[in-house]
Chain A
């Protein structure tokens, strides 16, 4: 934020890249890539999010303190996802029990 004024040209360039990436993610969704569909969708979304954070939100021109907060946010999210998933995906056999609960709920 240290009085760095980002020029409109940069903003328009970023906007156009975001549009191209949106088109790419829609196009990729129509191709059957098995388990890689979600990987590609998330990769494109993350590139878009990074562009928004770096340029629209000026993170690139911000002090290191701000970078620390951004990295901490991503890190905490990763901790939540990784630890919760490491529990659930290692006891896949409980799905049967889950199904019984939803059956009860439907009728």
Chain B
């Protein structure tokens, strides 16, 4: 049994039925706003108290990777929106194509995230016993730009002068970095799973102009995850770039 978009008994019209689905999705998304909101609250407070450490932590992130990921994710929102359009005008092949593009872009985003996480492990920037904010400055890799390492050393010595507990406070930054981007990535993984299902349904020809509700609802979810990243990117990557 699968749904084909026939009118259920509790609704007056198909339009009302669709609007109810959208309303339910929006209510779910408003709970998601508050779910992420708790983390944003924690971030705001700790950045307010430990601005120096947050600036130092932010500057260790790779802006090129983060920026590329922002472009990838916004592009995936575009392809998602396009698949909603294609399904609502009955273009089956295009719907499937745009959904596959969205899945590929979402997976690319997660792949870049893996590279970024790996760098943080290599540089001892994962909160815990081995955390050391100046590890990279003390143990530069052979292919690191010496000028960049010098600049980092200077920035660190200034930061330590301002905040002797820099190592502890930078761990707060990285806890939030991993917590917030991790929860975001988890949402992406869930979204990717739903996209796989959508692609299968689309190939089977389940979506028609009168019934494309799943495409629209998962689209809403995907765009919400995009919005979370739109806030995470400046808050995590762009705190103190003008040193």
Contacts and interface: CB of A to CB of B under 8 A. Distances in A.
Q: Is the interface of B mostly helix, strand, loop or mixed?
A: helix
A29 B223 contact: no
B242 A30 contact: yes
Interface in A2-27: 2-3, 5-8, 11-12, 14-15, 18-19, 22, 25-26
Interface in B194-236: 216, 219-220, 223-224, 226-227, 230-231, 233-235
B33 A74 contact: yes
A29 B142 CA distance: 30
Nearest to A62: B22
B33 A25 contact: no
Contacts of B167: 106
Interface in A52-76: 52-53, 55-58, 62-63, 65-66, 69-70, 72-74, 76
Nearest to A84: B41
Interface residues of A, number: 57
A76 B23 contact: no
Interface stretch (B78-86, B104-112, B147-155, B180-188): B78-86
B44 A52 contact: no
A104 B72 CA distance: 42
Interface residues of B, number: 52
Contact of B70 (A1, A22, A103): A22
A5 B230 contact: no
B169 interface: yes
Interface of A: 1-3, 5-8, 11-12, 14-15, 18-19, 22, 25-26, 29-32, 37, 41-42, 44-45, 48-49, 52-53, 55-58, 62-63, 65-66, 69-70, 72-74, 76-77, 80-81, 84-85, 88-89, 95, 98-99, 102-103, 105-106
25 contacts: A1-B15, A1-B18, A6-B81, A7-B85, A15-B75, A15-B78, A25-B238, A37-B238, A45-B233, A45-B234, A52-B77, A52-B223, A56-B226, A73-B26, A73-B29, A76-B30, A76-B34, A76-B37, A80-B34, A85-B44, A88-B48, A103-B165, A103-B168, A105-B168, A106-B167
